[in-house]
Amino acid sequence: MERKAAPVVKVLAENRRARFDFEVVETVEAGLALTGSEVKSLRAGKGSIAEAWVRFDHGEAFLHDAHIQPYSHAGYAQHDPRRPRKLLLHVHQLERWMGKVAEKGLTVIPLELRFVGPWVKVEVALGRGRKTHDKREAIKERETRRELQRTGGRPDAD
């Protein structure tokens, strides 16, 4: 029996600021309910999740403020660029994350928008907001990692 090849993954948009502003506790890959013109626009690279956030309404999760530019050849079937888009998650995942967000002061943030094979997926994370001093520590750690890479892995090389 032949094994199927792994699906091709293409990153469309990334929320770089999210990993800096939030401490990521847990991540999950969710599907995204889109219209045809939105998918075509994403294939053309016209999407952004820099300001996006996730909200739970009536037992469902929605991605708000993700900007997908209208597709130029869609004609009359255009979409609203910032409309809320439904996240496709399993019921047990939704219930678990809604409970965590409600009781622990965690929030759900989108990290990455990508194609996995023919499907558009969004990687969402359960995160805890960082304080200013935590951000400073993250900057220090990143700078020491860069310095170690620059010196070849030896901290005392000068």
Q: pLDDT at position 149, please?
A: 87
Phi, psi for 4 (deg, rounded to 5) = -75, 145
What strand order describes the sheet that includes 85-88?
9-14, 107-116, 119-129, 22-32, 85-88, 60-64, 53-57
Scanning the structure block, which residue is given the tokens 């309404």?
A: 57
| Confidence band, pLDDT 50/70/90 cuts, at residue 54 | very high
Q: pLDDT at position 2, please?
A: 73
Rounded distance, CA 122 to CA 126, Å? 13
Bridge partner residues of 30 (DSSP): 122
Rounded distance, CA 139 to CA 21, Å? 11
Rounded distance, CA 135 to CA 16, Å? 14
The domain defined by 9-17+24-129 carries CATH number 2.40.280.10: yes
Q: pLDDT at position 13, please?
A: 85
Prediction pTM value: 0.76
Stretch 145-158: mean pLDDT, rounded?
Answer: 73
Q: Are 111 and 124 in contact (CB under 8 A)?
A: yes
Q: pLDDT at position 140, please?
A: 85
Contacts of 119 (CB under 8 A, 6+ apart): 31
Could you state, in order of their start, the residue ranges of all structural domains in the chain?
9-17+24-129
